[in-house]
Amino acid sequence: MKQVLPEVGTRLPERAVSPFTSAELAAYADISGDTNPLHLDTGIARKAGLAAPPVHGMLLFAAFEPLLREWRPDLRIGRLSGRFTQPVLEGEPVTLSGRVVRVSEGETPQILLRLMANGTSRAPALVGEAVLTPREAP
């Protein structure tokens, strides 16, 4: 049976991500090996002009996978990319959003989504893209 693909302009359900704690930043640093002290030491963050340590960009990045998976479990992620444009600080809530910007049908359909993670500042913290393909596609 032919899979029903999303239409261009379809929005993903927005997802509120509760603030990351210092313990969570430490746990992520430990597992990822990204032990940059900027993420872990309030004193260093303050010296860099930030009120608190910034959340690892990859923590925000990783949050998109469950969002995409829950939105369309029948699709798999073929590509995921992101630019970290603004720091999100420890203790700051984040909202994830996304929109379908292109759908190419054919033998291997592809759905291109534009993704954003926003903290409390006006500008997005992360701007990304995902390409999804049907799970049965090669």
The whole-angstrom separation of Cα 10 and Cα 6 is 7
Work out how close the CB of 80 gets to another protein at its nearest, in angstroms, rounded to a whole number: 5
**How many residues sit in the footprint of another protein (CB under 8 A)?**
37
The whole-angstrom separation of Cα 115 and Cα 84 is 12
In which element (H, E) is residue 35 found? Answer: none
Answer yes or no whether residue 78 interacts with another protein by CB under 8 A: yes
**Cβ–Cβ under 8 Å, residues 39 and 55:** yes
Q: Which of 3, 21, 32, 104 binds another protein (CB under 8 A)?
A: 32
Which residues contact another protein by CB under 8 A? 17, 24, 27-28, 30-34, 36, 38, 47-51, 54, 56-59, 61-63, 65-66, 69, 76-84, 87
